[in-house]
Amino acid sequence: MTIYICGDSTAASYTPEKAPITGWGQVLGELLPNVRVENRAMGGRSTKSFLSEGRLVGIEKEICPGDLMLIQFTHNDTSDLIWRHTDPWTSFQANLEIYVDTARLYGAHPVLMTPICRRYWRDGKLLESHGDYPEAVRVLAGKRNVPLVDLYIESIRLVKELGEEESRKLYMYVEPGVFPAYPEGQTDDTHTRRAGAEAYARITAKALKDLGLLI
């Protein structure tokens, strides 16, 4: 079995030179040693731009019966840029259905995923992020009978459990002068370091097993 990941920068793989940024898709294969993971997630992509660049076509040429296609977007679908923006209840869902239908056409199993949360703490409270998009994914999963990994809910649970300060260790809080790629440091509540990628990859692997898609 091969797992294909369609997604954005939060799932993408990064070279060592870009450390410490790490996407959960980069780590997933380490947790599933008997499964091949093809991480096709790319930074800056939405459901719309991933399709327009022909990235799903590339997967379509390789995917086989019994494979899994993990579909996780949203971060860039919320963009105001017309070439990647989608509306959660219309074009976003319509695009997601293209991924679902493509996987099923070749006998593979689509899996819809909500995005990881943004770590937005204000006045001691973790704020909601991504608007209606996570719910749009849930509704579509129910409508099309597609397995759902609700990483948004699980990431919120984890970040709240860790608390405002401790949860920084999951995300891209980088001190100046430590990593060559970030000489001035970094403060980023969207992308993850290794610890965050590992945490979200573990949640994903467990969910896939709980859904009966992996042994």
DSSP states of 51-102: HHTTHHHHHHTT--TT-EEEEE--TTTT-S-TTT---TTTHHHHHHHHHHHH
* Res 15: pLDDT: 97
Please check whether residue 60 lies inside any domain of the structure: yes
* Res 215: pLDDT: 76
Q: Mean of the per-residue pLDDT values for the chain?
A: 97
Mean pLDDT of 162-184: 96
Please check whether residue 183 lies inside any domain of the structure: yes
Dihedral sign (CA 164, 170, 176, 181): negative
Domain span holding position 54: 2-210
Over the stretch 36-83, which tens digit does the pLDDT of each residue have? 999 999 999 999 999 999 999 999 999 999 999 999 999 999 999 999
Band (pLDDT 50/70/90 cuts) for residue 150 is: very high
Please check whether residue 10 lies inside any domain of the structure: yes
Over the stretch 83-105, which tens digit does the pLDDT of each residue have? 999 999 999 999 999 999 999 99
CATH number assigned to the domain comprising residue 46: 3.40.50.1110
Total of domains in the chain: 1
Position 148 pLDDT exceeds 80:
yes
Please check whether residue 168 lies inside any domain of the structure: yes
List, by residue number, the catalytic residues.
9, 184, 191
Please check whether residue 215 lies inside any domain of the structure: no
Over the stretch 20-33, which tens digit does the pLDDT of each residue have? 999 999 999 999 98
Please check whether residue 138 lies inside any domain of the structure: yes
Mean pLDDT of 170-188: 96
- Cis peptide bond upstream of 20, omega within 30: yes
8 A C-beta contact, residue 174 and residue 185: yes
Please check whether residue 205 lies inside any domain of the structure: yes
8 A C-beta contact, residue 5 and residue 11: yes
8 A C-beta contact, residue 155 and residue 116: yes
| Amino acid symbol at 12 | A
Please check whether residue 102 lies inside any domain of the structure: yes
